[in-house]
Amino acid sequence: MNPPIKHDQHIIIIGGGIIGLACAHYLSDHDIDILVIDQDGIGSGASHGNCGLLHFSGVIPLCAPGVISNEIFRMFSSASPLYIKPGLDFKLYYWLTRFALNCNPSHKSHGSAAKTALLKYSLDLFLDLFALDAFTDKSACELEKQGLVLAFKDPKKFEAYKKTNDWLAKYGFGGTAYPNEKLGDLEPCLKPHLAGAWLNSHDWHLRPDTLMKTWRNHLSQKGVRFLEYAKAQDFLTNEGRIQEVVTPKGSFKADTFVMATGAWAGPMASLLDTRIPVQPGKGYSLTMERPDPCPSIPCLLYERNMVVTPWESGYRLGGTMEFSGFNSPLDRKRLDRLIEGSQEYLSSPPGSVVTEEWTGLRPMTSDDLPVIDRSGDYSNLFIATGHGMLGITMATGTGKAITDMILENTLEIDMEAFSAKRF
Ligand SMILES: Cc1cc2nc3c(=O)[nH]c(=O)nc-3n(C[C@H](O)[C@H](O)[C@H](O)COP(=O)(O)OP(=O)(O)OC[C@H]3O[C@@H](n4cnc5c(N)ncnc54)[C@H](O)[C@@H]3O)c2cc1C
């Protein structure tokens, strides 16, 4: 029998979503024993049923000038793509106030620059990841680099998007306009009455649940260990360091801990008497067999704020943003609205066989920037959460940066904007 491998360091990653796996990935290139623990199955959180876009052109923070004035009257209607459940949740109202204060031109510039750096970094790292043997086969995650179509019904909004596109172009992510008469050249499944569309060819897409399985298998082969259905429910700490995490399956010691608990960052932080103001932003998706005809490029249906993603193995409609706390019931009205939305913009019928109805919680921060940092309260705790609508896209940059922080390597991009001390 081989003697047990002795490692330099033991690291526990709490949270087996895409961010936890990305951290494990870059850490596993070093002489480190890595245990990933999850309260549920690995990859069963927001990383499972999302739209699967590698949306590198998503540089503009969600809290941008005009968002509040444009959305305020729709926000409390349960039929709206953005919904806030009325009630007395002071943490949510504090978060919303911070979000509203960030809807200004200066945050738009600051946030766009910071996100661009992380998105470009992640893109380069994805190129390396997808060049690895485990990921080169199409079945590894159904990666396609065909871009993203933004489809508009309203001619004024289509025209106005030119300003947004000019902004994206400044950061190297501009797209191309297709007025109504050219729509057929772009994507034959777009309905002819639409005002027009923009194609952003910088974006890619993949099947996220398949990516999670492939990545987990790859990491297992590299020696990363996984413990499922083991909720981190308490910590033993001493003199500003975490010593052990307590789960129903036992207590585990490590030198270093990474908190990658997505939307659950807030409850997890309160176990440690620390604060990470992340709110769960509930989204929905419907996965079906491919319709005939099927779009070949993912489409963002602009006024509906939803995405249609085609893969060889299926078809997904996804979207909506509900601030209603931690809950998982499926609201049938929201699923129906995804189907209605696809019928308004696309000639493809909804897929006849539904394979999954899903809801997931995005980890939302009030400035729409992730938290990627060493904790200010515990010297051996690192935090990687708050990736909002772009956790799949920003995963590789996050995992690499957390690894460099833990190993005290020089960081390859400026991470100041993602500090845990900014709130
Ligand atoms: C409808 C929808 C569409 C989306 N589309 C896209 C898209 O196209 N592109 C994109 O980039 N992003 C998209 N996103 C966002 C993306 O899914 C998230 O940002 C990303 O999955 C977050 O990853 P994560 O690892 O931080 O969180 P998660 O995947 O939620 O993982 C966190 C994990 O932590 C575990 N956990 C929590 N608390 C504990 C505890 N106490 N102990 C142990 N484990 C714990 C959870 O079980 C979970 O598995 C979408 C999201 C939604 C909802």
| Ligand 1 neighbour 208 (Cβ under 6 A) | no
pLDDT of 360 > 90? The answer is yes
The string of pLDDT tens digits covering residues 224-244 is 999 999 999 999 999 999 999
pLDDT of 75 > 60? The answer is no
Ligand 1 atom nearest to 58, measured from its CA: 11
Provide CATH code, domain 9-418: 3.50.50.60
> Mean pLDDT for the chain?
94
- Residue 262 Cα to ligand 1 middle (Å): 5
The string of pLDDT tens digits covering residues 153-211 is 999 999 999 999 999 999 999 999 999 999 999 999 999 999 999 999 999 999 999 99
Residue 413: its pLDDT value, please?
Answer: 98
- Residue 250 Cα to ligand 1 middle (Å): 25
| Ligand 1 neighbour 232 (Cβ under 6 A) | yes
Which residue's CA is minimally distant from atom 26 of ligand 1? 262
Residue 3 preceded by cis peptide, ω within 30: no
Q: Given pLDDT bands bounded at 50, 70 and 90, which one contains residue 70?
A: low
pLDDT of 77 > 70? The answer is no
Would strands 148-152 and 299-301 be described as parallel, antiparallel, or unpaired? parallel
pTM of the predicted model, to two decimals?
Answer: 0.96
| pLDDT (average), residues 101-108 | 95
Q: Which of 283, 312, 338, 320 is nearest to 146 (CA)?
A: 312
Would strands 234-238 and 241-247 be described as parallel, antiparallel, or unpaired? antiparallel
| Ligand 1 neighbour 264 (Cβ under 6 A) | yes
Amino acid found at 295: P
The domain locations on the chain are 9-418
Residue 81: its pLDDT value, please?
Answer: 63
- Residue 384 Cα to ligand 1 middle (Å): 11
Residue 88: its pLDDT value, please?
Answer: 65
Ligand 1 atom nearest to 43, measured from its CA: 49
Residue 89: its pLDDT value, please?
Answer: 81
CA angle 411, 372, 113 (to 5 degrees): 75
| Ligand 1 neighbour 269 (Cβ under 6 A) | no
Which residue's CA is minimally distant from atom 33 of ligand 1? 15
